[in-house]
Amino acid sequence: MTSLKRSQDSRQYSYDWPWVTLLLGPGLFLLCLLILIPVIGTIITSTNRDITFMDGKWVGLSNYAELFKDTAFRQSLRFTISFIAVSVPLELLFGLGLSLLMNYKSSFRGIIRSLVLIPWAIPAVISGRIWELIYNVNYGLANYIIEQFGFEKINWLGTSSGAFWAIIIADLWKTIPFVAIILLAGLSSIPETLYQQAQIDGASFFRRFYSITLPLLRPVIVVALLFRTIDALRIFDLVFILTSGGPGGSTTSLSQLGFKYFVGGDFGYGSTLSVIIFLCALVLSLLVIKFGKFSQEAI
Amino acid sequence: MNLFEKSFLYITITLLSLLTVCSKPDNKRIVLAVGGAPSEVEFWEKIAAQCTEQTGIELQLIRQPTDTDQRRQNLVTALRAKKATPDIFLMDVAWIAQFAGSNWLEPLQPFMDKHTISDTSFFESVVKQADHYDNKLIALPVYVDGGLLYYRKDLLKKYGYEKPPETWNEFIDCAKTITEKERQKNKNFVGYVWQGAQYEGLTCNFLEFAGSDKPGIVIDSSSPIIHTKRNIEAATLMRDLIEPYNISPQNTYTDMKEEEVRIAFQSGNALFERNWPYAWKLHQSEGSAVKGLTGVALLPHFKDGRSASTLGGWHIGLSRFSKQKDKAFTCIAYLLSSEVQKQFTIQLGWNPGRPDVYNDSTVLQIMQHAPILKEVFNHTVVRPVVPYYSYMSAVIQRYLNAVLSGKIEASAAFIDCEKELQEISRRYSK
């Protein structure tokens, strides 16, 4: 590469600025245009009374004050956070198990790998419909099985906690494969020789998993955690199809609530909600990244 | 190609593609934004071509999604940016006030006068209730909707009922008797299916239960009132139908939207159904288990009240930002003419906003239930005509859905609900 010259003594890089500008410029320009400017715009809008059917004015932080008084907001914040707190750890746990299974050398490896991917390949709207049919009180598969064992029918989506777990299960079914695939990539990059050496030293299976697999997999786990946390924060489609936010608003996610405000014409309040979602994502990612660095030092 | 040339090419392509995105729209045609089921949009394409042919004004269609909220979002984005197109568009009756309050709709009276069209050509109560804002005419009905009671003619006859029940007490007796007997043969059979999921349809259904002589939600000098005896009675009835009466299925408050309700009735698993008029044509289609067995009536009411149907439907409006308002109105006038409206009725089974179409002999042949529809449209109740209605409705849906699930008593729900509604109205009133 002509663009990068390393001066050996000081281990410093000297840059060929015209090239750097040329190669990074367009990317940075698009990044600013499509991400930075809208984010700043949203923050500015959130401090205004920006409602299509009212006169606009600057209101400072009063949108935020209203938001924290808002029952619907508190309810959906509680739902979204519990959803992340329950679904993401379970996804990681099952995803790890599945990836170990997929990495295990057997004659079924090819079949297992392709079968596992199916739920992830199905669009969320369609898998939502599938689960809706499974949970249906009258002719759903879940109640059919229960009845075979002599139990009463259950209205799965009819109670707040029932609907919550129904959404978690449907989400796990869909996203475990995704986590498993990411972890599988990490697993296959761990050199086989490490395991062989450990085996010679007499390390048990659990010891090998705990001392080799887990530490070497940590950076990949952090990536999976980051992806899933942010994705879970934005959950919309599955909830929209399965419960439309009910019963009684108990499963309304933050993004559903935000969508309602934008459609209704209150851009200021909608932006406030978006900023809150953005801040949640930021804090969660910083936490995850910090946690990731910590683990790399541990290696 | 060396690296420098490659990068140059890459930048040029990026800039060029940005330029094409920003190209200017052409100024001669009128643009109409319309969405809906694919078959409906196909038909609009045909009508647009006809319009171009007969009026000499090129009418171009922007195809919108099927989902109502996405259609609204689509228009809100364009209008908020003060874009000149679309010139004309269809609006759900529930958002006309929001659009009018945002000052996006051009008053139509001057154009009506110029074209010598009278608003008496349309359903008077509909135009009066839904198409006026601040005493100005800002929209016209294209498609009128109202809640209907569909019933199984064969089953009522089998169990000795001559006509569908009129009051809720009669209704409950009738539904209980028939459902209990029918369930012995078909364990999936239910008495009454209606829209109870947490979405706009639930508010519409509630207004009909509450209906009678007064609307369920009154906005009294900009303060909403919902905690009334009649409303508590109505919401309690809605819950009771599910439990303890066991007339409506358990999934009423989780799954039931228009299509779920229609399919339950159409597969022969329900005695009564509350739905919009669109279900009629589908119930009568090939492969429907209730073909020829379906009757239509007014929705039941409380003993001391009268039947009520929530007014729904789509209305056409003219954008204030249109650069060619005269031409655009000519297109509106064409689309609302008796001839074109008749085509919509015959081809799509739509209910036009013009009463004269219902007297046409070809239309009467296809829509045998036209006389009942006409009566229904005289019994409509409107959802509150305020720009912030959708926020009110979201609150109402949440509380009602909780009542239906048995989580909270109706009387307690309406106390909290009213507080939240007043909070909203305070925030959005000038």
Closest-CA residue of chain B to A159: B405
Q: Is residue B262 part of a domain?
A: yes
Q: Is residue B340 part of a domain?
A: yes
For residue A27, what are the domain limits?
1-37
Give the whole-angstrom CA distance, residue B383 versus residue B310: 7
Beta-carbon contacts of residue B237 (< 8 Å; ≥ 6 apart): B168, B209
CATH of the domain at A250: 1.10.3720.10
Give the whole-angstrom CA distance, residue A227 versus residue A243: 24
Claim to verify: residue B271 and residue B336 sit in the same structural domain:
no
Q: Is residue A206 part of a domain?
A: yes
Q: How many CB atoms lie within 10 A of CB B427?
A: 18
Residues 348-407 of B with CB under 8 A from A: 387-388, 390-391, 394-395, 397-399, 401-405, 407
Amino acid at A164: F
Q: Is residue A149 part of a domain?
A: yes
Q: Is residue A213 part of a domain?
A: yes
Claim to verify: residue A16 and residue A90 sit in the same structural domain:
no
Claim to verify: residue A125 and residue A272 sit in the same structural domain:
yes
Tell me what pLDDT residue A111 has.
87
Confidence category of residue B87, pLDDT binned at 50, 70, 90: very high
Claim to verify: residue B269 and residue B175 sit in the same structural domain:
yes
> Which of A30, A244, A251, A267 to probe the B interface (max B CBs under 10 A)?
A244
Provide mean pLDDT across the span B138-167.
Answer: 95
Question: Is it the case that residue B386 has pLDDT exceeding 80?
Answer: yes
Give the whole-angstrom CA distance, residue A230 versus residue A223: 11
The three-state secondary structure class of B84 is: coil
Q: Is residue A61 part of a domain?
A: no
Tell me what pLDDT residue B365 has.
87
Q: Is residue B342 part of a domain?
A: yes
Helices (H) and strands (E) in chain B, counts: 18, 14
Name which of A51, A138, A266 is nearest B188 (Cβ-Cβ). A138
Closest-CA residue of chain A to B386: A53
Query: DSSP per residue over A169-211, as a string?
Result: HHHHHHHHHHHHHHHHHHHHTS-HHHHHHHHHTT--HHHHIII
Tell me what pLDDT residue B152 has.
97
Do A137 and B250 make contact, defined as CB atoms within 8 angstroms? yes
Provide mean pLDDT across the span B328-347.
Answer: 94
Per-residue b/e over B231-253, b at no fewer than 16 CB within 10 Å?
bbbbbebbbbbbeebbbbbbbbb
Claim to verify: residue B157 and residue B264 sit in the same structural domain:
yes
Claim to verify: residue B410 and residue B261 sit in the same structural domain:
yes
Residues 206-245 of B with CB under 8 A from A: none
Q: How many CB atoms lie within 10 A of CB A66?
A: 16
Q: Is residue A49 part of a domain?
A: no
Q: Are strands B190-193 and B270-275 parallel, antiparallel or unpaired?
A: parallel
Claim to verify: residue A4 and residue A89 sit in the same structural domain:
no
Closest-CA residue of chain A to B201: A244
Tell me what pLDDT residue B215 has.
67
Claim to verify: residue A179 and residue A243 sit in the same structural domain:
yes
ipTM computed for the complex? 0.83
Claim to verify: residue A148 and residue A249 sit in the same structural domain:
yes
Confidence category of residue B8, pLDDT binned at 50, 70, 90: low
Beta-carbon contacts of residue B350 (< 8 Å; ≥ 6 apart): B143, B344
Q: Is residue A242 part of a domain?
A: yes
Tell me what pLDDT residue B299 has.
95
Helix (H) or strand (E) holding B85: none
Per-residue pLDDT of B159-168, as tens digits, reads: 999 999 999 9
Claim to verify: residue A148 and residue A261 sit in the same structural domain:
yes
Per-residue pLDDT of B391-401, as tens digits, reads: 999 999 999 99
Q: What are phi and psi of B66, to 5 degrees?
A: -80, -40
Closest to A280 in 3D by CA, of A253, A240, A245, A243? A253
Number of CB pairs, chain A paired with chain B, less than 8 A apart = 124
Mean pLDDT rounded to a whole number for chain B = 90
Tell me what pLDDT residue A298 has.
44
Q: Which residues of A touch B94 (CB under 8 A)?
A: none
Beta-carbon contacts of residue B199 (< 8 Å; ≥ 6 apart): A244, B257, B397
Claim to verify: residue B248 and residue B372 sit in the same structural domain:
no
Asked if omega into A215 is within 30° of 0 (cis), the reply is: no
Q: How many domains does chain B have?
A: 2
Tell me what pLDDT residue A3 has.
44
Task: Record the tokens describing residue A172, joined without a space.
Answer: 């796990």
List average pLDDT for each run of 10 residues in chain A, which is 299 residues long.
Answer: 47 78 92 94 95 92 93 94 96 94 84 88 92 89 92 90 95 95 92 90 89 90 92 93 90 93 93 95 88 56
> Which of A24, A53, A62, A144 to probe the B interface (max B CBs under 10 A)?
A53
CATH of the domain at B187: 3.40.190.10
> Which of A20, A45, A49, A54 to probe the B interface (max B CBs under 10 A)?
A54
Q: Rounded to whole angstroms, what are the CA distances from B419 to B8, B33, B310?
A: 62, 38, 24
Task: Record the tokens describing residue A51, joined without a space.
Answer: 């409602």
Q: Is residue B60 part of a domain?
A: yes
Tell me if chain A has a CB within 8 Å of the CB of B408: yes
The three-state secondary structure class of B146 is: strand
Q: Rounded to whole angstroms, what are the CA distances from A179 to A97, A120, A227, B172, B193?
A: 10, 10, 9, 52, 41
Tell me what pLDDT residue B26 has.
56
For residue B120, what are the domain limits?
23-138+312-378
Claim to verify: residue A91 and residue A231 sit in the same structural domain:
yes
Task: Record the tokens describing residue A236, joined without a space.
Answer: 């919309």
Helix (H) or strand (E) holding B194: none
Q: Which residues of A touch B104 (CB under 8 A)?
A: 52
Tell me if chain A has a CB within 8 Å of the CB of B196: no
> Which of A16, A49, A52 to probe the B interface (max B CBs under 10 A)?
A52
Q: How many CB atoms lie within 10 A of CB B177?
A: 15
Per-residue pLDDT of B214-271, as tens digits, reads: 667 777 667 899 999 999 999 999 999 999 999 999 999 998 999 999 999 999 999 9
Q: Where are the alpha helices (DSSP H) in B302-366?
A: 325-335, 338-348, 361-366
Helix (H) or strand (E) holding B298: none
The radius of gyration computed from the CA coordinates of chain A, to the nearest angstrom, equals 24
Name residue, tokens 């990044």.
A31
Q: Is residue A9 part of a domain?
A: yes
Give the whole-angstrom CA distance, residue B138 versus residue B385: 13
Question: Is it the case that residue B114 has pLDDT exceeding 60?
Answer: yes
Per-residue pLDDT of B89-103, as tens digits, reads: 999 999 999 999 999
Question: How buried is B149 (Cβ within 10 angstroms: 0-12 exposed, 13-18 middle, 19+ buried)?
Answer: buried
Claim to verify: residue A84 and residue A127 sit in the same structural domain:
yes
Provide mean pLDDT across the span B307-323.
Answer: 94
Tell me what pLDDT residue A292 has.
72
Tell me what pLDDT residue B25 has.
53
**Are the CB atoms for B422 and B223 separated by under 8 Å?**
yes
Do B255 and A136 make contact, defined as CB atoms within 8 angstroms? yes
Claim to verify: residue A206 and residue A136 sit in the same structural domain:
yes
Q: Is residue A55 part of a domain?
A: no
Task: Record the tokens describing residue B373, joined without a space.
Answer: 């529809």
Give the whole-angstrom CA distance, residue A109 versus residue B234: 59
The three-state secondary structure class of B89 is: strand
**Are the CB atoms for B47 and B335 separated by under 8 Å?**
yes
Asked if omega into A247 is within 30° of 0 (cis), the reply is: yes
Q: Chain A closest CA to B109's CA: distance in Å?
A: 22
Q: Is residue B414 part of a domain?
A: yes
Q: What are phi and psi of B223, to 5 degrees?
A: -120, 115
Name which of B98, B104, B420 is nearest A71 (Cβ-Cβ). B420
The mean-pLDDT minimum among A101-115, B23-37, B74-88, B129-143 falls in B23-37
Question: Is it the case that residue B133 has pLDDT exceeding 50?
Answer: yes
Q: Chain A closest CA to B405's CA: distance in Å?
A: 6
Q: Tell me the longest C-alpha to C-alpha distance in chain B.
A: 90
**Phi-psi category of residue B128: left, alpha or beta, with phi > 0 → left and psi -120 to 50 → alpha:** alpha
Question: Is it the case that residue B22 has pLDDT exceeding 60?
Answer: no
**Are the CB atoms for B300 and B167 separated by under 8 Å?**
yes
Q: How many CB atoms lie within 10 A of CB A31?
A: 12
Q: What is the DSSP letter of B368?
A: T
